[in-house]
């Protein structure tokens, strides 16, 4: 059945629509932190469809909200008042920490970043953008042009002028051996050097923790230090919270808060988890920035009632059950457990992350040389053991990514860690 579907997939869909696993999975249903494939195999889900399942699979509260809304009306999001959109925007504006915030909904993270670029370039009358090396912001014509991860942007001929800044990756590159403070100082010098040789940029866009890049992060405070430099020059700071938002990192509700000394970003983008699988993205910005566009709406489907109803129910559940606290507690246990396992596996160079956003870097034992083949083998072995995880990384896919739904409990964390331990130990 699945094989037939695979043949049909390959015959009609683009070659670059990549599928995980030598024998790709057809997921047919899910519940809690588990999913099932078409053959009836059950998997513990530690990737949530790339962090889209934020709370839990088939969460009854979300399912009920979606089916009730579907029974009333499914409609476009423009032209008429939209109660769930107003309600979700109010909640997100308040949670964002951005003063006088306005919210615009899109259908994806890519579109959210496109909109952020539209706003920043229009507001600043500049098409120069600062972005981070190794970053990922989407693959539309403009988002691919600010994506520093070369594996994802090889064919980009973007109309934007993009300058890439050091700092998103702590453990690689020319500043890796420095102390945290010296690392930050070197990255600020790099930024100042770039600024000395370019037209005034519109904005710096950055993921607080690089997602596709393999869950790598700078030392806390880097973006606060950048902010000082940017603010003096009127350059905007866009935080891409597509992977880091909604309490995923445990300690903070937004990833930027690890760098919040100089206040919230000017613009924030979000997507993935908020819809618990329904397609919601969005932008939050101070009203003077959001309202610098004087055109009509820019999306027919961004913020439809059905996605907004899902988002509201999902967000309520997250807040009422303190899933951020759960991410901190259970994520803390999980990372400790994985570090203990890694100490006995020479191919693991590093286990990093915070909350339920954990990266495992695989290298040739005892070296810094990335080992994407072994990482892929561990991904396969974990699946054999009944665990779904993700992969990622900079110029090579040598990091394993662990990002379960935020309702993960301790027993499931233990179970997943044990499967991952077997998978890592199975490396020849
Ligand atoms: N920004 C970040 C940080 C992402 O990880 C992604 C998706 N991996 C995007 C933007 C693009 O989001 P989407 O795939 O929903 O368009």
**Same-domain check for residues 269 and 406:** no
Decide: 335 and 351 in contact? Cβ < 8 Å: yes
Q: Is any atom of ligand 1 closer than 6 Å to the C-beta of 137?
A: yes
Higher pLDDT, 71 or 78: 71
pLDDT beyond 60 at 1: no
Q: Is any atom of ligand 1 closer than 6 Å to the C-beta of 242?
A: yes
Picking from 320, 340, 358, the residue at the C-terminal end of a domain is 320
Decide: 424 and 386 in contact? Cβ < 8 Å: no
Mean pLDDT of the chain: 95
Q: Is any atom of ligand 1 closer than 6 Å to the C-beta of 110?
A: yes
Alpha helices in 343-409 (DSSP H): 372-384
Name the residue with tokens 């100042």: 192
* CA distances in angstroms from 130 to 121, 138, 148, listed in the order given: 12, 15, 10
**Same-domain check for residues 362 and 297:** no
Structural domain including 10 reads 2-55+322-425
> Looking at residue 156, what is its pLDDT?
63
How many CB atoms sit inside 10 A of residue 397's CB?
A: 20
Strand locations in 224-378, DSSP E?
Answer: 236-240, 267-270, 281-286, 348-354, 357-362
**Same-domain check for residues 107 and 195:** yes
Task: Kindly give the distance from the C-alpha atom of residue 357 to the centroid of ligand 1, in angstroms, as a whole number.
Answer: 15
Q: Is the pTM of this model over 0.90?
A: yes
Q: Is any atom of ligand 1 closer than 6 Å to the C-beta of 117?
A: no
**Same-domain check for residues 151 and 251:** yes
pLDDT band at 16 (very low <50, low <70, confident <90, very high): confident
Nearest CA owner, ligand 1 atom 8: 212
Best residue for ligand 1 mutational test, from 52, 112, 269, 271 (most atoms within 8 Å of Cβ): 271
Packing angle, helices 305-320 and 323-342, rounded to 10: 70
DSSP state of 171: S
Task: Kindly give the distance from the C-alpha atom of residue 327 to the centroid of ligand 1, in angstroms, as a whole number.
Answer: 21
What SS3 class is residue 40? coil
pLDDT band at 92 (very low <50, low <70, confident <90, very high): very high
**Same-domain check for residues 74 and 210:** yes
Q: Is any atom of ligand 1 closer than 6 Å to the C-beta of 351?
A: no
Decide: 142 and 110 in contact? Cβ < 8 Å: no
Q: What is the CATH number of the domain that holds 369?
A: 3.90.1150.10
As a residue count, the chain comes to 428
What span, in angstroms and rounded, lies between the C-alpha atoms of 321 and 348?
Answer: 34
**Same-domain check for residues 359 and 273:** no
Q: Is any atom of ligand 1 closer than 6 Å to the C-beta of 53?
A: no
Q: What is the CATH number of the domain that holds 281?
A: 3.40.640.10
Nearest CA owner, ligand 1 atom 13: 109
Q: What is the mean pLDDT of residues 322-327?
A: 98
**Same-domain check for residues 11 and 140:** no
**Each residue of 68-82: b (16+ CB within 10 Å) or e?**
ebeeeeeeebeeeeb
**Same-domain check for residues 359 and 229:** no
**Same-domain check for residues 256 and 286:** yes
**Same-domain check for residues 115 and 31:** no
**Nearest atom, ligand 1, residue 272 CA:** 15
**Same-domain check for residues 127 and 47:** no
Picking from 262, 290, 320, the residue at the C-terminal end of a domain is 320
> How many structural domains compose the chain?
2
């Amino acid at each position: 059945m699945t094989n037939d579907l695979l043949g049909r997939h390959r015959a009609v869909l683009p070659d670059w629509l990549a599928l995980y696993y030598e024998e790709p999975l057809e997921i047919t249903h899910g519940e809690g932190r588990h999913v099932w494939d078409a053959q009836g195999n059950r998997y513990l889900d530690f990737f949530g469809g790339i962090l889209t399942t934020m709370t839990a699979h088939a969460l009854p509260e979300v399912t009920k909200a979606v089916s009730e809304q579907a029974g009333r009306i499914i409609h476009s999001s423009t032209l008429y008042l939209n109660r769930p959109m107003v309600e979700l925007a109010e909640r997100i504006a308040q949670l964002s920490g951005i003063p006088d915030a306005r919210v615009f909904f899109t259908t994806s993270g890519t579109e959210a970043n496109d909109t952020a670029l539209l706003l920043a370039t229009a507001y600043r009358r500049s098409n120069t953008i600062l972005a981070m090396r190794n970053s990922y912001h989407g693959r539309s014509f403009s988002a691919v042009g600010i994506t520093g991860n070369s594996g994802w942007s090889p064919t980009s001929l973007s109309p934007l002028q993009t300058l890439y800044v050091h700092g998103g990756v702590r453990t690689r590159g020319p500043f890796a051996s420095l102390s945290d403070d010296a690392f930050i100082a070197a990255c600020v010098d790099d930024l100042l050097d770039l600024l000395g040789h370019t037209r005034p940029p519109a904005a710096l866009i950055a993921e607080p923790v690089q997602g596709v890049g393999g869950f790598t992060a700078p030392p806390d405070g880097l973006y606060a230090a950048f902010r000082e430099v940017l603010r003096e020059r009127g350059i905007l700071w866009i935080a891409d919270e597509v992977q880091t938002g909604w309490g995923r990192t445990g300690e903070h509700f937004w990833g930027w808060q690890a760098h919040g000394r100089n206040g919230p970003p000017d613009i924030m983008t979000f997507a993935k988890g908020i819809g618990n699988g329904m397609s919601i993205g969005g932008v939050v910005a101070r009203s003077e920035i959001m309202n610098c566009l004087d055109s009509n709406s820019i999306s027919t489907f961004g913020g439809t009632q059905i996605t907004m109803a899902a988002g509201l129910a999902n967000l309520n559940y997250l807040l009422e059950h303190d899933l951020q606290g759960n991410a901190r507690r259970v994520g803390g246990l999980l990372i400790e457990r994985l570090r203990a396992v890694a100490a006995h596996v020479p191919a693991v160079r590093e286990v990093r992350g915070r909350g339920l956003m954990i990266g495992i870097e695989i290298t040739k034992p005892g070296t810094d040389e990335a080992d994407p083949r072994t990482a892929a083998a561990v991904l396969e072995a974990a699946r054999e053991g009944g665990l779904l995880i993700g992969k990622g990384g900079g110029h090579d896919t040598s990091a394993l990514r662990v990002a379960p739904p935020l309702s993960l409990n301790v027993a499931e964390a233990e179970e997943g860690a044990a499967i991952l331990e077997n998978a890592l130990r199975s490396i020849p």
